[in-house]
Structures are given as C-alpha cells and as structure tokens.
Amino acid sequence: MPTASPRIVFVGAGAIGGYTGAMMKSAGHDVTLIDGWPEHVETIRATGLAIDGMAPEESVTVRIDALHICDVPQLSKSRPIDIAFIALKSYDTEWAAHLIRPYLAADGFCVSLQNSINEERLAGVVGWGRTLGCCVSLLAAELDRAGHVQRNIHKGGEQHTVYRVGEIHGRITPRAETVAALLRAADSAKATTNLWGERWSKLIINVMRNGLSAATGLSGNQRDLAQTTRRISIKLGAEAVRVGQALGYAIQAQQGLEPETLARAGEGSGDALAEIEAVLIGLAQHRGEEQRPSMAQDMRKGRRTEIDYLNGLIVEQGAKAGVAAPVNARLTGLVKQVERGEVAPSPALVADWVVLS
C-alpha cells in the first residue's frame, strides 16, 4: 500500500462514515464516499457534505467525490483502492465487502468502521489478511438530512481516544499505524493490540444505550437521567460484562465505566451502583440534548435496526458461554415489537421493569 497518498473509499456515508470521510478529505486525502441514498449522494455532489459540530469552529462544508452504489463500477477507471472503510450496518457487511472487493489494490484492505463485531463476516469475503477493525468510541453523530451530518458530542482530543484501529492478530503493523494517522484528521486515534477486547468493550456501551433509546424514544440524556431507564441500562451492561469475561475478552474501561464495577452495580452492589450512576449522569453533561444513538435514529426513520447484532449478540454469545442475559433478551424482543409496529416507542414500555432496587 502506498503510504504517501493512499486511495480511500468509505462504503457508507452516513453519520460515522460521512463525518470521518469528510474530515479526511478536508485534511487533503484522496477520499471517495459511496452511499445508497440517492438524494444524499446528489446533494454532496452539488454542494458538498456539510458538517456541524458542538462548536462553531467545528463546522465545515467539504467538497468530496460521492458515488451511488449503482455507480461503483466507475472505480475501475482510476487506480485501485488502498483502504476501504466499511461504515454500514452490521447486516450490510457481506454485500458491501463483495461490492468493493473487485476494486481493491493487490495489497489493499478493508477496515470495519461499524458497531458490533463484524470482522469475521468481512474476512469471509475479502480474507483475514485484508481485514482490520476500528472501534469508534464516543462519537455521537447523526445524518439528519441529505448532505448534512451533525456531531452531538465534543471531540475526544487528548482526554479520550475516539478511534481504536487494530489488526486481527493483535500486532501493531505499519498499515494499522497508517490508518490511525489518517483517522486523526477526524479525532483522536490510536493503533491497538487489543482489537477484540476493544470491540467487546464498545459493545457493552452500545447494548446499554441503543436498544433502550430505540424502544422508549428517549434521547441519550433523557435515558440516562431517568432512574428507571438508567438502571435498566446498567443491568444490560452488567450482563454484557459477564458474558465478555466468560468468553475471555480483555475488557477495558470505557467512558469512565470500569467493567467490574459496572458488573457489580448490575448485581446489586450499592456502592458500585452509586459510582456507575454518577458516571452516567456526568456523561449526560457532555452530549447535545437531542443526541440519540444510531438505533434510535433508525427506529425514528423506519429502518431496520441492529438489535440482533448488539443486545441479541450478548444473548447468543451468553448462551454459548453458559451465562444468562435475561434483560438483554427481553429488550431484544421489545425492540423487535416496536420495529414491527406492534407497539409505539415509549418509556411506558419499560416502566415496570424492576431490575435494580
């Protein structure tokens, strides 16, 4: 892979893919966005991709090449792709990998820039040697209209590493370092030796937030500031910690949530519960009031959710490890009910869930 000027594509130009790709482009890199929403692609082509952040100086409009998925064969007219970021929903991983594989350079590779754990799906198409993963931690953003991404949380900077990119085998390689350097155009980034542990650690955060906001219709702050949903969130996270530990993952603290303390909080330790609740309430001070996790955004827009790849994955992997995850199972079922239109999103749906006293 040429290190001077790699050719980069983002398969998926939504909140994370669009934001990250636009920031790379604004730093002078060769970036093309690929997306399936025609109006979004046409808006980017006409006026650029507009990014708004939490501060005025973070707002920028970036002129960037954009292709609809139907236009992808045009990639064959220029030099091959060095790095393809897959920034779509988990259930779109395989077809996205098949879409971009013919255009990869001989030493080109893909990076999963997704929630859940999709490296195996990606590698099943492009090969393990062409697969890297990248966890995105504390980057709350929304594609709220065609051609516009709103970031709803302050940049991590030196206080928090947002992008954590790693090789499947855990070694730090030149290409992992290259990807981390590219990602620093968007926010803080590092190469990690613990991709799988980072993945599970981020999964814990996702299962605490995404499905609960999707089912209740609550924003991130509303969810964490209300005692009922905050404590359901803690129980969801505690189950995920115990499943991850049983599977042998090296789970790391995320956003001030120490894994063992989180697990004990969900298991009834009063001191641990007070500590974790204080962290969650504190985190609400750093988000925009209208911030909603991606699954809640999908639910509002009538899209398929990733519940099977988040809370459902905890249940599935817990069964394999012999660790029950009943609250994650219950939430998975509820989100599917809401998704099918059987019930409307509402906090009332979980009002009687007594998981912690």
Question: Strand 189-192 to strand 163-167: parallel, antiparallel, or no bridges (unpaired)?
Answer: parallel
φ/ψ region of 147 (left if φ > 0, alpha if ψ in -120 to 50, else beta) reads left
Distance CA 4, CA 338 (A): 48
Task: Residue count of the chain, please give it.
Answer: 357
Query: Which domains are seen in the chain, by residue range?
Result: 7-193 (3.40.50.720), 198-350 (1.10.1040.10)
Q: What is the pLDDT tens value at each position of the chain, 357 positions in all?
A: 444 689 999 999 999 999 999 999 999 999 999 999 999 999 999 999 999 998 888 999 999 999 999 999 999 999 999 999 999 999 999 999 999 999 999 999 999 999 999 999 999 999 999 999 999 998 889 999 999 999 988 888 777 899 999 999 999 999 999 999 999 999 999 999 999 999 999 999 999 999 999 999 999 999 999 999 999 999 999 999 999 999 999 999 998 999 999 999 999 999 999 999 999 999 988 777 778 999 999 999 999 999 999 999 999 999 999 999 999 999 999 999 999 999 999 999 999 998 776
CB-neighbour burial class of residue 321 (10 A; exposed 0-12, middle 13-18, buried 19+): middle
Q: What integer pLDDT is reported at residue 2 of this predicted model?
A: 46
Q: Can you give the C-alpha Rg of the chain in angstroms?
A: 20
Distance CA 290, CA 276 (A): 23
Does the global pTM surpass 0.85? yes
Q: What integer pLDDT is reported at residue 89 of this predicted model?
A: 98
List, in order, residues 6 or more apart from 119 with CB less than 8 Å away. 112, 131, 132, 133, 168, 195, 199
Strands (E), the chain: 7-11, 30-35, 49-52, 60-62, 65-68, 81-86, 104-112, 131-136, 141-145, 148-151, 163-167, 189-192
